[in-house]
Structure 1
């Protein structure tokens, strides 16, 4: 919400400076997000009238002007502006004037000088030179009645400030200059100028038949016909100026009047070309397949959930959002129909976003607009139309279908004092609410208020408590130190923080990404095999229409973004929430019925494992590089990996991750068809794990350093090709060694290209190093031999392996 200070002070003018005014509004809940002057400081710039303009004798693009600035004698000024001509009034900077700083930041001072041999006694200014706008096409032409010699700052009212408010959604009643003034009056006690809407006497009896078929869409519809309007009339300068300072450019007189009243009183309205309306108007819900070309040029298709205004032939307007092109006012328009309505907020909310645009009218209607003032505001609009464009007004047509019911809300003074944290009396609460224009009745320690029709935000006791707090002043609240002791809550040793997980992944060379939880529906269908994702009722964009059930799509999108910018090696991870359907989930303070929302950690690696270097030629990233990262992330807990299938990953290069007998995630190379779809030169390797499994860790248990040296034995085991590494090591560790086996790991795999002695075509040789030791004594050869034999026997019994040789 943006407006000039001078307009606000016309309704309420407290004896406060500009900064004090801004502070008062902010402390009253209407945050002033920005406060800036209308124009930067400059001096000695006055209104001048060009009396003579002749060609410069030594320059084709310059003119020598004789300018009257009210000093008795004319000034000789050299000017190069194309619109410098006799009779216009323009800003003239006198000798000694200081203009706003240029691009170099230095103030520009006007001096007496010569241009191409002709003396110049000042400077005629454009809007850009005075920093009023970026227009540098010529001199800034002032109104014909501007007093000669008067300071331009005074003539253009440049000693003004622009307020920009950051309003919360519950402050719809402050989406106008008058609404802000009403709040300012309550906060300061300064008198509020009440507007008067004098009825316009009808000059004819023509009416437009209107039918409100949907009372749940439109509660009140008012309108009137105005004939013989001059739509080519020029908008008054004062109105153009105020609209510009509200951030609204001038369009045409009728559009400007409608916008002006919206900013002034928060009342959006619409003006139809009456002669383009076919028959009567019907205010109803849309019908499937109906189309409408809007004023912004877009053609939209409506359905039963969108309100429309239609005539006997077609849809003419999106209710409460934007008018249609078919009945738009043009230069040829002579008769207009002025409409102001009350649209139910629930009927307007979210409709603009369906069509990927928003309007000032929709912004106000979806928050709630006063339904009691439609007739008065049409009278105000009509009067402005007649003053600016002429015309003859017809009789007022006002249909009331259904207005909001205002139920009384009761405030308990004791409850308010407890919530606010300071002593309050019943009278103080009543006085504060009365200053807001809320008619209050008092009872036994209570204050009861029936909210006015323009206050859609007052429904429960807490709403009244907030109003009392705003009026009393947040700065009046006492500083009360907490009485409860502050005790540090130490995290358990068996868990590590999310920050520790992030730091660990960063140490492994991964960069964190932060992505939206809404993703493309195709990602869910292709990468998660999820045909029924959780859909958003009101997506912020068409490509963000569903909630993600996996982090894979977000990481692939981040990879694609980096590769498109010539990145060669990418390591990214994300810690985020996914959303799964689960009928067992009930609604609580932190859950939503039917939706499970676990946290996941996922990572992606692409490119050479170590990047480019001279020491060795890059072998390329593979599954085992990322498997090592996952094992390091889960350490010291030992994870196991089992071959599996996943819709996003390569059928033969994918495994599930298991911890302590429970599946906690998946790891694998991207499926070739998705690699081709995303146009990746190499296959990225991804993992996705449950965050709870990653943050859980074993509490360290200290053991004494072994006193006796361990023994190592290497054995080569021949097994069939389909026997996995995990199966062999499980058999080795299950052997009855009497507790002597400390460790075992695979350090070589031998698979000859041709048949070799002792190896069949479907067999391979696995070399395993055994570490044996005892805490009581040095092992003897007999003990070592017995342990090795037990390992070999267990391997033979479990997986059919044998010793090589």
Structure 2
């Protein structure tokens, strides 16, 4: 939501500075994302007069201008604008000035052999509009040498406020002014609306159908209008907040959308076929919208239709067929109320984002229909002329419920209980009164523009935010005497260990959205949890995996120049009827840095992913010594370069490896990335013991190692051989690891293993070592391996 300081002062009598206003807005819950002043960016630019305009000696389409900037003698400027001529007044940018529309800093330069010491600017180059056919031409009385921003009245700070979805009233300047006045930063200016005298009935039939999503529709015919460009003050206001002026009639509707959070619409009556009906869409209805795109209406949409069919999506976007233009003389003004849930669903379904949708889906003031019709009619008559008819007001059965007065129970003591603020009841009531609430014997009646107020806690929030969250005292919680008892759960402790371990291993933590698109979810088995009211079509499914978010985050980092990305996230997957705590990681890029000691960088491999998965499982308390590696982790993973880590054939603790090439291709994932997921809820809980940790008991005798080299048949994994060798003597053998792999071209695979033997209370004899070696070889031979000679 953007507005200018002068626009705010139309509603609020205040002398506060822009910074004071921004600070107060943020303090009362309306976060200000930025305050910009166009005059600051355009400070170097001056009003200048073209003294002479001569043909460029080396270019037919260029002219060499002599320009009076009001500062010393004439300045030579090379210009290609067709409207540049002697005697005209324009806007001059000197060397050193930054031109925002071209992202260029001016300097003295030779253009086709002729020196140019500055630039005569167009509207688009100064980001004041889209016109670029020629340079800006000012009025003949513009003062030469004056600052252009000051002359053009551009020194009007623009506020950009991030309005939360529960504040429909703050989508209008009047609602923001009301909040500031309630917070003591000025006085709200009354703006009475006079009823327009009407001399004839509205000849356009208007009807709304029950269940259409439109509960009320007010329409008024204004005939004999003249639709042309809107006045400069209106165009400047719309441009300042990022809207493009179109025509007087359209600009008026856009004005009230920003000014009063009330979207309006106008129809060219001569283009209508019959009357207006608000109803549900019908299959096969297709119309061209004002954004030059065609849409197919559905039975779930609320459409505005005439006898020819749908001519717009109610509350979202109008149709081109009935749009006003310079030839419009008779116009139908629409002011309606649409059900927020219908508007939100329609906008998402058709992927249309408009200012009207943003306001209707939050919930506009239903009682503002009549005054807004009168205010808009008055402005139309003021700027375009015309005679107004009586207002036709059509409603459905649901309208009575929409405008019904609601009383919310409220106890003043709840302000201290919920917000920690001790305020006298009279002060609480005064705050609510300034916000438009009415105190009754049964509670509080919210104003019609606050449809978000639902319960007592909402009332407390209003009192607290106007009082100021920064004024809430810091009160420590009571604490019992003695040593505090541990409060962290097992899952919280596990997640903390995982975070520390992952960070220590060089992974960076990422926090990604829990909502993903249907396409992303389908690649990971499909989403089972769907949002009834998603933020957008791309965020409508609760994630079945943490990897889509990490893939997107890794790609963003690579796009910004990162050469090695190592990310992890601890969060929840949403499958079945519950949430599943999960840890995931993703690595892509250089597996090691380029350095004279480490040699050439390499890509990450599935073995790197396995190392991370095992380390994280160990940190989570999993019995890693008992883990078994099962190849092929499923359709998400590369069929030959992935695996799962399990406790037995059914209990899967983790999956790791390279992503499936199809997934990488279809979802634009980074090439060469490896990843893994740790299923924390599958890790068996450790048995409780009376000690916090086992006592440190180092072995009294030195361990010994023995090396074995086996020729291993195809289909037998190194992990299977390791497990067999460990099982030869579970008490004495404490570790088995592969330290060498050899396979000549076309030859058999040879694996070399180092076995660690740990004696207990006395050293091993030669006979005992020989016996254990024999059992180790026998265990490997049961798998088909043979001792290499």
Give your verdict on TM over 0.5: yes
Task: Give matches, 1:10-409, under 5 Å.
Answer: 10-14=10-14, 16-37=16-37, 39-40=39-40, 61-62=64-65, 102-103=97-98, 137-142=134-139, 156-157=152-153, 160-188=156-184, 191-214=187-210, 217-231=213-227, 233-401=228-396, 402-403=399-400, 404=402, 405-409=404-408
Contact residue 56 and residue 64 of structure 1 kept, 8 A: no
Question: 1:11, 1:533 → 2: CA distance?
Answer: 49
Residue number among 561, 566, 579 corresponding to 1:596 in the alignment: 579
Question: 1:41, 1:254 → 2: CA distance?
Answer: 31
Relative to 1, partners in 2 of residues 1:783 and 1:247: Cα closer, same or farther, differing over 3 Å? closer
Question: 1:496, 1:319 → 2: CA distance?
Answer: 52
The runs of 5 or more residues in structure 2 that have no matched partner are: 58-62, 106-118, 687-691
Contact residue 645 and residue 652 of structure 2 kept, 8 A: yes
Residue number among 643, 646, 652 corresponding to 1:663 in the alignment: 652
* Structure 1 residues 173-224: Cα deviation after superposition (integer angstroms, max 9, x where no partner): 2322322333333333855332233333334445110110135612221111
Could you say what secondary structure the match of 2:34 adopts?
strand
Counterpart of 2:436? 437
* Structure 1 residues 578-615: Cα deviation after superposition (integer angstroms, max 9, x where no partner): 53432xxxxxxxxxxx2433213234567888979899
Question: 1:673, 1:311 → 2: CA distance?
Answer: 49
* Structure 1 residues 635-693: Cα deviation after superposition (integer angstroms, max 9, x where no partner): 58325334344223454554321258843022345557667878999976543322467
TM-score (norm 1): 0.76
Contact residue 638 and residue 659 of structure 1 kept, 8 A: no
Question: 1:206, 1:152 → 2: CA distance?
Answer: 47
- How far the C-alpha of 1:147 sits from its partner, in A, is 11
TM-score (norm 2): 0.77
* Structure 1 residues 768-797: Cα deviation after superposition (integer angstroms, max 9, x where no partner): 66554533333333444444455566677x
Counterpart of 2:696? 702
Question: 1:61, 1:749 → 2: CA distance?
Answer: 78
Counterpart of 2:627? 640
- How far the C-alpha of 1:326 sits from its partner, in A, is 0.7
Contact residue 555 and residue 670 of structure 2 kept, 8 A: no
- Judge which range, 672-681 or 726-735, deviates more: 672-681
- How far the C-alpha of 1:478 sits from its partner, in A, is 4.3
Counterpart of 1:591? none
What is the CA RMSD across the aligned residues, in angstroms?
A: 5.2
Counterpart of 2:463? 468
- How far the C-alpha of 1:312 sits from its partner, in A, is 1.1
Question: 2:56, 2:717 → 1: CA distance?
Answer: 96
* Structure 1 residues 727-778: Cα deviation after superposition (integer angstroms, max 9, x where no partner): 55545444469x55455556678999999xxxxxxx9987666554533333
Question: 1:751, 1:149 → 2: CA distance?
Answer: 84
Question: 2:69, 2:785 → 1: CA distance?
Answer: 111
Contact residue 45 and residue 91 of structure 1 kept, 8 A: no
Relative to 1, partners in 2 of residues 1:774 and 1:286: Cα closer, same or farther, differing over 3 Å? same
Task: Give matches, 1:334-733, under 5 Å.
Answer: 334-401=329-396, 402-403=399-400, 404=402, 405-441=404-440, 443=441, 448-474=443-469, 476-478=471-473, 480-484=475-479, 498=495, 501=498, 504-505=501-502, 515-519=512-516, 521-522=518-519, 524-525=521-522, 528=524, 530=525, 533-537=528-532, 546-551=541-546, 572-577=566-571, 579-582=573-576, 594-604=577-587, 623-624=606-607, 626-635=609-618, 637-645=624-632, 646-651=634-639, 654-659=642-647, 662-668=651-657, 686-691=675-680, 701-707=695-701, 725-726=718-719, 728-733=721-726
Relative to 1, partners in 2 of residues 1:500 and 1:415: Cα closer, same or farther, differing over 3 Å? closer
The runs of 5 or more residues in structure 1 that have no matched partner are: 68-74, 109-122, 583-593, 756-762
Could you say what secondary structure the match of 2:652 adopts?
strand
Could you say what secondary structure the match of 1:288 adopts?
coil
Relative to 1, partners in 2 of residues 1:666 and 1:281: Cα closer, same or farther, differing over 3 Å? same
- How far the C-alpha of 1:294 sits from its partner, in A, is 0.9
Question: 2:638, 2:421 → 1: CA distance?
Answer: 65
- What is the count of residue pairs matched by the alignment? 745
Could you say what secondary structure the match of 1:138 adopts?
coil
Question: 2:69, 2:786 → 1: CA distance?
Answer: 113
* Structure 1 residues 264-311: Cα deviation after superposition (integer angstroms, max 9, x where no partner): 322211010101111121101212332221101111222122111001
Counterpart of 2:7? 7
* Structure 1 residues 352-394: Cα deviation after superposition (integer angstroms, max 9, x where no partner): 2333331111111111222223232222222222222222222
Contact residue 206 and residue 225 of structure 1 kept, 8 A: yes
